Amino acid sequence: MRFAIGIEYQGSRFQGWQRQRGGRSVQACIEQALSRVANQPVAVVTAGRTDTGVHATAQVAHFDTSSRRSNYSWQRGANSFLHSDVAVTWISPVPDDFHARFSALRRCYRYVILNRNTRSAVFRDLATWDYRPLDAARMQNAARSLIGEHNFSGFRAAGCQASSATRTIYNLDVRRHGAWICIDVCANAFLQHMVRNLVGVLTAIGAGDQPEEWATEVLLGRDRRQGGVTAPACGLYLTAVVYPARMELPEPPEPIRFW
Burial environment of residue 246 by CB neighbours within 10 A (0 to 12, 13 to 18, 19 or more): exposed
Cα(14)–Cα(222) distance, integer angstroms: 31
Residues with a catalytic annotation lie at 51
Q: DSSP labels for 108-153?
A: EEEEEEE-SSS--SSSTTTSEE--SPP-HHHHHHHHGGG-EEEE-G
Cα distances (Å, whole numbers) of residue 41 to 34, 86, 87, 244: 8, 20, 19, 29
Cα(202)–Cα(204) distance, integer angstroms: 5
CB 91 within 8 A of CB 7: no
CB neighbours of 250 closer than 8 A, spacing ≥ 6? 6, 90, 92
Maximum CA extent, the chain: 59
